[in-house]
Structure 1
Amino acid sequence: MDTIINPSASGQPSIKRLAGMAFIGMALCYITLFIIYGAVLSTPADATTAEKIAYLIENKGLYNFTYVLGYVLFACLLCFCVYVVGQLGSMASKTTVAMMSLFGYFWVVVLLCTGMIGISSNELLASQNASNPAAAEVVYYAGTLLTESLGGGIEFIGGVWLFLLGVIGWRHGLLSKTLSAFTLVKGAIGIATLFSAELVLRVVFGLSGIVWFIWIGVVLIKKSS
């Protein structure tokens, strides 16, 4: 087996199975977003602000769908997973597990806020653009700033949660050494987005997330049998 999750850490096999399915569901959210943004939604790089706003309004329904899927639904699944992972870490220091869980729940709240801000901004843009283009530009930049800062560009909070999980997994056998190392690297990438605006960091964080969510999801499902 590539990973080890202590079966005695939780007496609820069905909870592990549900958490495993939730992790895989989160990976599917990521995959769907990559497909939508990679193959369907593509704003020209040299477009003016007015053209970007027009494109966003034209595809408002699809953009709102990505916020619901990638932030609201994802956050709900993540909330359950944070709770279950915290219960599985019973062998580790209570302080470390508590800090890990806090950052996990902070990530949930930030993602929910990002999704709802994104949807609200799109709706406000659609109502303001025709009558007050100047106000629409203010809404566009404010919405972009908030969503990028909270959950669309900086992955610091999620990175800390993952890094602490990797530390606990490595030190206490919650995860295998291989998965623990992968978790530590992924967490470090998330933390690095606080200090660098390089797009490659966000792309790597997202792509590695697909692998990580499926990996730990499969492990939890197997261990629940």
Structure 2
Amino acid sequence: MLANSSMVFAGIWAALMYASGMISNVGIEAVADLAASEPDRAVAVWSTLDIVTNGLGGGNELVGGIWILLVSIAGLITTRLPRWLNVVCLITAVVGLVTVVPDFEAVEMVFSLGSIIWFLGVGITLLRDRTPVRTTR
């Protein structure tokens, strides 16, 4: 159940990130096209683009925080990852969840840096430990 829940939130988070990136790419092109001929309209489109992309993937890290929290819980239960890495994961998850509070958006950078440290740590751990994992279904 924990693995399935984690996969669902990972998929949602990935989809939101891709959607945000694609909308940004298309929107930036539209803003650039409008900038020379209709600068006021370009500003309005840019503002709208910013709201949409932040709403999808940049304004808060709720979905990412939930996913990382679920993975951290799984890591603590299975002890497959080093304890320090699970602690980084828990802190990162809590910080991600806090980004939904309007006055705490600045902690998004902490979430991003914690995620990078965690991803690198997981990657290095998985590359070092080549023991096959037995899955149950």
Same fold per superposition (TM over 0.5): yes
Q: TM-score, normalised by structure 2?
A: 0.87
The corresponding residue for 1:219 is 125
Which runs of 5 or more structure 2 residues have no equivalent in the other structure? Answer: 132-137
Structure-2 separation of matches of 1:210 and 1:174: 19
Q: Post-superposition shift, 1:113?
A: 0.5
Q: TM-score, normalised by structure 1?
A: 0.55
Aligned counterpart, 1:154: 60
Q: 1:140-195, CA deviations, whole angstroms, 9 ceiling, x for partnerless residues?
A: 01110111122122111111110000111112223232221221111111111112
Q: 1:196 aligns with which of 95, 102, 106?
A: 102
Which structure has more RCO (C-alpha within 8 Å, separation ≥ 6)?
Answer: 1
Q: Residue 109 of structure 1 aligns with which residue?
A: 15
Residue type of the alignment partner of 1:214 = L
**Distance across 1 between alignment mates of 2:63 and 2:23:** 18
Equivalent residue for 1:130? 36
Shift of 1:196: 3.3
**For 1:173-212, what aligned pairs fall within 5 Å after superposition?**
173-212=79-118
Taking a change above 3 Å as real, the CA distance of residues 161 and 116 of structure 1, as seen in their structure-2 partners, is same
Query: Are the aligned partners of 2:89 and 2:114 in contact in 1 as well (CA < 8 Å)?
Result: no
1:31-46 to 2 correspondence within 5 Å?
none
> What do the CA deviations read for 1:105-140 (whole angstroms, capped 9, x no partner)?
111100101111111111000111222223212210
Aligned to 1:43: none
Whole-angstrom CA distance in 1 between matches of 2:53 and 2:130 = 37
Number of equivalences: 131
Aligned residue for 1:116, secondary structure, equals helix
Query: Percent identity among equivalent residues?
Result: 27
1:143 aligned onto 2:49 = yes
Partner of 2:71: 165
Q: 3-state DSSP class of the match of 1:130?
A: helix
